[in-house]
Amino acid sequence: MSVPLIREYLDKVTAHLETIFEEEQQNILKAARVMADHIKNDEIIHIYGPGGHSGVAAMEIFSRAGGLACLNAILDGGTMLTNGGDRSMRVERLPGYGKIVIDTYGVKKGDLIILVNAYGINAALIDSALEAKRLGATVIGVSSRLHAESTPPEHPARHPTKQNLHDLVDYHIDTKVPVGDALMTLPGVPQNTGAISSFASGFALHALELATIELLAKEGFEPPVWRSGNATGGDEWNKQFQDRYKGKIAFI
């Protein structure tokens, strides 16, 4: 890869994140407000990414140094890439699967759940949102409105109802991922390359965490923030959260 090509990719990624910042900051702040209120009530916040790399997005902010300790990542193996790429895609397209996951992890009335997915359309994602709403949970969605609205109703990834995540949730942060995800067009290469979705989802989620932590601090509430276990005193600091959330967070 040539240096100019790397620079072009960097510029496009940076411009994309800047657009999310400029256009989604109010939506981030609204979602942060509801997260802060849940944390003040000593409640956990679920996060689930139904899909291969969307599952990685959920893991991005789970048990992360500098991140919120009260996040309960739903690390369901069905769509994890550790079980194979094709299998992951087939499971995320399976109607009814998302409902099973939400029920298995005990999401209930009054809970708060973040659903993150690059494209906002797959069957497991939509079933997760529908089930969470049916149970009385509040749902924050992180996905691309553009990709969802540009995907035809007959696409095989879609839920039988053809719905989009951003139309179902209580709060939505638009990651603006283009159709196909990849940003770069190279001569002699038939497909675009250089994905953006992981950067976009990760930035949106970290921004949401930061806004939540800032709100709590400004209101005189000490936010539960992990310290790196690789930093001096990290293990001792983190034990308070391990003790507090044991039995509430599945993979603490």
Q: Is residue 212 part of a domain?
A: yes
Residue 44 half-sphere exposure, CB side, CA atoms within 13 Å?
A: 25
Q: Is residue 118 part of a domain?
A: yes
Q: Is residue 31 part of a domain?
A: yes
To the nearest whole percent, how much of the chain has pLDDT over 90? Answer: 96
| Domain carrying residue 113 | 9-245
- Label residue 2 by pLDDT band (50, 70, 90): confident
Q: Is residue 184 part of a domain?
A: yes
Secondary structure (3-state) at 47: strand
Secondary structure (3-state) at 200: helix
Q: Is residue 250 part of a domain?
A: no
Mean pLDDT of 21-32: 98
Question: Which pLDDT score is estimated for 184?
Answer: 95
| pLDDT, tens only, 126-149 | 999 999 999 999 999 999 999 999
The predicted model scores a pTM of: 0.96
Secondary structure (3-state) at 120: coil
Question: What are the counts of helices (DSSP H) followed by strands (DSSP E) for the chain?
Answer: 8, 7
Instruction: Give the H or E element holding residue 58.
Output: helix 52-60
Question: Which pLDDT score is estimated for 111?
Answer: 98
Q: Is residue 252 part of a domain?
A: no
Domain containing residue 79: CATH number:
3.40.50.10490
**Burial class of 35 by CB neighbour count within 10 A (0 to 12, 13 to 18, 19+):** buried
Q: Is residue 79 part of a domain?
A: yes
Q: Which residue has the tokens 């949970």?
A: 137
Question: Which pLDDT score is estimated for 156?
Answer: 96
Nearest to 211 by CA among 93, 59, 16, 34: 34
Q: How far is the C-alpha of 157 from the C-alpha of 201, rounded, in Å?
A: 20
- List phi, psi (to 5°) of 45: -125, 120
Average pLDDT, the chain: 96
Specify whether the CB–CB gap between 225 and 69 falls below 8 A.
Answer: yes
Domain count, the chain: 1
Instruction: Give the H or E element holding residue 92.
Output: helix 85-92
| pLDDT, tens only, 200-213 | 999 999 999 999 99
Question: Which pLDDT score is estimated for 28?
Answer: 98
